Structure formats: structure tokens, C-alpha cells
Structure 1
Amino acid sequence: MTTDLTIAQEWLTSWTNVPGVASLVIRRLGQKYRPGVRGWRKIRRRETTEAINGGLSGTLHRPQLVLGRYDTGGRPRALARPRH
């Protein structure tokens, strides 16, 4: 945790190179986490997206993975399929 903008900027360029760390979370001092409320802000170094991974296509002898994501209505949609 820091209140120093220079330190936070350095963290954004160095710590986000670590696998599994993609962003900083910014909040006001004393601001508590409230489930379901968007009060904190996430600053990303790179754009990421949620994806559904692991759906199967093809045959039992030659299964293929399908990449997908949820659409705005919450329904899963395929984005990419392997070429046969």
C-alpha cells in the first residue's frame, strides 16, 4: 500500500511484469470493500478479458478445445475453434 503516486507508477511498470499480476487497485484512504459495489478502481497495464476455456469439440479420439466468452446477455459464445 502507498499514497505516493511515484511509487504507484513504478509498481505499475515493474510489478505487473510478474506472472499473475496485471493491475493495481486504487481506492480512497479508509474506503472499505463492499461486495457488489464498484467503488474501487483497477488500473491495468495491459488489456485482458475473461474467457471460457475447455469446452470440447470433435471426436472422443481427437478432442479439440474451444475458446469462448459470455455475451452481454450472459450466454456463452464460441470465439475461436481449431482448424481441422
Structure 2
Amino acid sequence: MIKADEIKKIAHLAKIQIEQKEFDQLAKQISDIMKYAEIINELDLKGIEPTSHAVAVDNIFRADIAIEANIINEAIKQAPEQAEHFFRVPKVI
């Protein structure tokens, strides 16, 4: 089990302030987490492929292919008012 003085050292290294009354509670919680991790480490995982995601992820997006487009002229044509290749808007102060 991790001790309260180890919690104090970790808190100092992490530059966090922990109340004295919290050391014992945190020590128990961290010890419980470490016991759980030990149980997981003891599992027999032979024959199980390592994964980076719990669920298989497939790329469902289209390929990123550059295409020629004249978007600017199409947008300007739809503007209520225009000046050359720009949108004309009311003056804002």
C-alpha cells in the first residue's frame, strides 16, 4: 500500500497542494487503483491482438482530391451588391 508520505512527495513534485487530512484517503484510493492494475496485468492475453482502439475505426470520408473550381465568381454573382470581385456592404463605423 502506498503511504501518506509518498503522496506528500508526489504532491510536491506535481506542485499541487493537498490537505493533511486527505493524505490517508488518497493513499487508499491510489493503492486500490494499483491493486486493480495488478489484477489486469495478471490476465492471460495470449492470442489477443494488441489494439489502439476498442472499436475498429474505418475511414469513411472521401479522398482529399484537389479540384479546380471558380467559387469566387459564383459567390460574387449571388451577392446583393458587388464591386469588381468584392461584396459591397454598408459602411460600418
Quick check: TM above 0.5? no
Which protein has the bigger helix share? 2
- For this structure pair, what is the TM-score category when the shorter chain's length is used for normalisation? under 0.3
Higher-Rg structure is 2
- Taking structure 2 as the reference length, what is the TM-score of the superposition? 0.19
